[in-house]
Structure 1
Amino acid sequence: MTQSEERSEDQARRDDTTSDENSDRKTASRKGAASRRGVLLGLGTAAAGAALAATPAAASAPSRSRSPRGVCTYVLVHGTHSAGAYWMPIAQELTLLGHRVVAVDLPLHGARAFVPESYQRQDLAALATEPSPVAALSLDDYERHVTRIVRRAAAHGPVVLVGHSLGGATVTRVADAVPELLHHICYMAAFCPSPVLPSPDACTAAPENADALIPLGQVVGDPERLGVLRLNPRTGDPDDLAALWKMMCADYPEDVFRQRLGGMQTDESTTAYAGRAVGRTHTWGRLPRTYLRFGKDRTIATRLQDRMIAEADARTPRNPFRVHDFPTASHLGPLDPAPLVTALAGLAP
C-alpha cells in the first residue's frame, strides 16, 4: 500500500469514528421520531411455530480447533415483528447437514415476547394506546444481545451471521463490533445501510423503495406516540388481510400465509428503525459477505436491495458482495427453503 493509500484509509477510519460518535449523541433525541413511511416499509418478517430461544452469556475468545472441518455455527437474526422461529425450516435443514444453528430471539421477541393485554382481548380502542416496553429497545440492545451469542458460538468454531429484513442492521452492527469472531456475514433481503442511507428508516425512504407496499390502514395507534409500530395479526378484516398477504408473501397459498401471520408479534420499536447501522471499512468491510436477493419483494424492494449492494461494494471494492439471486422470491423467501439452504450451506468454511 502506498503512503497516499494509507493516509486515505486512516482518514476514512477517522471519518467513520467521528460519524459514529456524532450519531451516538443524537440517538436519545431520535427515539419515537422515526419516519412513519420508513417504519412501515420495513414491515414483513413473520414467524411460525415455537421459538428457538437463546440465552446468551459472556464467554472468552474463540478456540476454533474444536470444530470439524466444514462445520460451523449459523447465528440467524430475524426481522421486524418476528422471532427466531421464522428460521425453523432453514435451521432444521442446516442442522441435518451437520451444522450448529442458533435462531436468535431478539429482546422482547419470541419466547420473551411482549403481548399487549388489550390485544389478547381484541379491544382495538385500548390497543391503540396501551404502552409497550418494546418502545425502549434500540439497535444497541439488539447488537449487544447478538454479540453475546456470537461470542459463545465462536468458542466452538467458525460463525456465519445471517440477518433477514430489519435483522440486517443488527448484522452490520455486530460485524462492526466483533469482526474477529465471524467467518462470514449474510444479508437475506435485508437492510445494509451506508453513509448515504445510514439507517433502516433512510433505506426504506429511498426512491428505489417507492414501489414497496405501505400498510397504512393496518397500523394500530400512533407509532410516534407509542414508540412502536403496532399491528393486529389477529385481524379478521379482509382488506387488512389482503394487504398483509401481498406485502409479505403474495405467492404463498392462503393457508400458509395464515400460518406465518399467526406467528407475528404486535410491536416493533421505531427507535430500532431510526438507529445508525453503517459498518466501518476496516471492521465490517473486511469480512466476506453475501447477499440473498429476492426478486419479488414488496417490503424491501429489489431495486433498493440492488442499491444497498452497490453502495457497499463501492466502499470496499476489493471485497464485494457475493450475490445469490432468487428472482421469484417474496419478502418471506421461497416457499421451498431448499435453495436458501443450499446458498447458506455454501458459506461454511
Structure 2
Amino acid sequence: MSASTLVFVHGFWHGSWCWSEVIPRVVATGRLAVAVDMAGHGLYARRPRWFTEQPYTPEAVGTEVSPVADVSLDDAAELLTSQVERIGGGEPVTVVAHSAAGPVLTRVAQQTPELIAHAAYLSAYMPASDVSAAAYTRMPEAAADQVAPLLRGDPAQIGALRLDFATDDAAYRQRLHEAFYGDVDPVLADAATGLLTPDGPIGIMLGTTTLTRDGWGSVRRTYLTCTKDVAIGPALQARFVAEADAAFPDNPTSVIALDASHSPFLSIPDEVAGIVTSLG
C-alpha cells in the first residue's frame, strides 16, 4: 500500500471515539487508518470529583483543581510522537488533527518532520511560531467564539478549560450542542455529549513551538475549513492559513472548505472520509 497510514487525533473534551463514523469509510477504500487518544483525554482522561459525586455541587465546578492540570503541550506531543512511531513503524503517516489537537500536531511535525507525510488540520488551531493556541482565543477573529462563554472556573486556577456536562441546565446544554454539533442529528449529538469529558488541559493551549523551514515548514499541510463553525470561526481559520503561508511561502497550505459546523466527522462523515483519503 503506497498511501501513508491516516492517524486521527480528536480535539478537547472528545476522544478517539469521535472518528468512529469516519474510519470505517476510510478503511473501506483500502486505506489504513487509526484514531488515537490525546493526552488528558479518552483513556488518558481523569475526571474531577464534582463530575461524578452526588449530590452535584455547582460551586465545586468552578474551583476544583483539575486532575489533568499537569498535562502540558510537551506531554501531548511526546504521546502523539510515540503513537505515530508505533503506528507507522518508523514510516511517515498522515495526521488529521481536529480543533485543539492542532498545536500538538504542529509540535510533532516540527520536532520530527520525517514522521509526518502530511499534516491536516480540521478546523484546528494552527498557531504561528512562538504563539500559543490560547493567544488566538483573545484575538478579534475569535470574538464570536461560542465555547468560551460556556467555560467554568478560572483556567489559571483549575488548570483546565472546563465544561459542565453534569448540569441539568437545559439552556446551557443546548448552547453546548450549538457550539459543537450545530448540524449534527440531535440524537447523535446527545450520544456524543454523553461521551465528553469535562476538562481540557490548559497546558496544551499555553505551550508554544518555534517553527523552522526544515521542521514544520517542510511538511505538506492541508487546512480543512468549516464554514459554519462557531467554536473556531472561519475568520480565525483564515488567519491560521494566512500566517502559515506568510512564514513559509515556498510550502503553501492547501485549503479545502467544508459546509459544516465544528464536528463534520459526525455531520458529514462521508465527505470527510473522501477528503482525507485523497491526501497523500
SS, match of residue 136 in structure 1: coil
Q: Measure, in 1, the Cα distance between the counterparts of 2:66 and 2:144.
A: 31
Alignment-derived partner of residue 312 in structure 1: 244
C-alpha displacement of 1:177: 0.8
C-alpha displacement of 1:114: 0.8
Whether 1:331 and 2:265 are equivalent positions in the alignment is no
**Can you give the 5+ residue segments of structure 1 that lack an aligned partner in the other structure?**
1-67
SS, match of residue 133 in structure 1: coil
The residue type equivalent to 1:98 in the other structure is: G
| Contact 1:168-1:191 within 8 A present in 2 as well | yes
Deviates more, 1:183-192 or 1:248-257: 248-257
C-alpha displacement of 1:157: 4.1
The residue type equivalent to 1:226 in the other structure is: I
The structure 2 residue matched to 1:288, chosen from 220, 224, 240, is 220
C-alpha displacement of 1:278: 4.5
The structure 2 residue matched to 1:106, chosen from 38, 59, 80, is 38
Whether 1:143 and 2:77 are equivalent positions in the alignment is yes
C-alpha displacement of 1:164: 0.4
| Contact 2:217-2:251 within 8 A present in 1 as well | yes
Question: Residues 303, 127 of structure 1: CA spacing in aligned structure 2 closer, same or farther, 3 A cutoff?
Answer: closer
Alignment-derived partner of residue 205 in structure 1: 138
Alignment-derived partner of residue 298 in structure 1: 230
The residue correspondences of 1:161-180 to structure 2 (distance < 5 A) are 161-180=95-114
Question: Residues 214, 339 of structure 1: CA spacing in aligned structure 2 closer, same or farther, 3 A cutoff?
Answer: closer
The residue type equivalent to 1:73 in the other structure is: T
Q: Measure, in 1, the Cα distance between the counterparts of 2:9 and 2:147.
A: 23
| Contact 1:199-1:275 within 8 A present in 2 as well | yes
SS, match of residue 250 in structure 2: coil
CA-based RMSD of the aligned residues comes to 1.8
| Contact 2:99-2:123 within 8 A present in 1 as well | yes
**Larger-Rg structure:** 1
The structure 1 residue matched to 2:2, chosen from 49, 52, 69, is 69
Q: Measure, in 2, the Cα distance between the counterparts of 1:92 and 1:291.
A: 22
Question: Residues 303, 219 of structure 1: CA spacing in aligned structure 2 closer, same or farther, 3 A cutoff?
Answer: closer
C-alpha displacement of 1:181: 1.7
Question: Residues 294, 207 of structure 1: CA spacing in aligned structure 2 closer, same or farther, 3 A cutoff?
Answer: same
Alignment-derived partner of residue 79 in structure 1: 11
Q: Measure, in 1, the Cα distance between the counterparts of 2:245 and 2:48.
A: 42
Deviations 1:15-52 (A, max 9, x none): xxxxxxxxxxxxxxxxxxxxxxxxxxxxxxxxxxxxxx
Whether 1:154 and 2:88 are equivalent positions in the alignment is yes
Whether 1:239 and 2:200 are equivalent positions in the alignment is no
C-alpha displacement of 1:297: 0.6
C-alpha displacement of 1:330: 0.5
Q: Measure, in 2, the Cα distance between the counterparts of 1:229 and 1:288.
A: 30
Q: Measure, in 2, the Cα distance between the counterparts of 1:339 and 1:295.
A: 14
Q: Measure, in 2, the Cα distance between the counterparts of 1:69 and 1:124.
A: 53
The residue type equivalent to 1:329 in the other structure is: A
Matched residues, number: 277
Deviates more, 1:270-279 or 1:160-169: 270-279
| Contact 2:26-2:33 within 8 A present in 1 as well | yes
| Contact 1:215-1:244 within 8 A present in 2 as well | no
C-alpha displacement of 1:331: 0.7
Q: Measure, in 2, the Cα distance between the counterparts of 1:159 and 1:282.
A: 18
**Can you give the 5+ residue segments of structure 2 that lack an aligned partner in the other structure?**
none
Q: Measure, in 2, the Cα distance between the counterparts of 1:171 and 1:347.
A: 16
Deviations 1:216-252 (A, max 9, x none): 3x43333221111222213221210121122112222
Q: Measure, in 1, the Cα distance between the counterparts of 2:69 and 2:79.
A: 17
Question: Residues 267, 233 of structure 1: CA spacing in aligned structure 2 closer, same or farther, 3 A cutoff?
Answer: same
Q: Measure, in 1, the Cα distance between the counterparts of 2:90 and 2:160.
A: 37
C-alpha displacement of 1:87: 1.4
User: Percent of aligned positions with the same letter in both sequences?
Assistant: 33
The residue type equivalent to 1:123 in the other structure is: T
C-alpha displacement of 1:118: 2.3
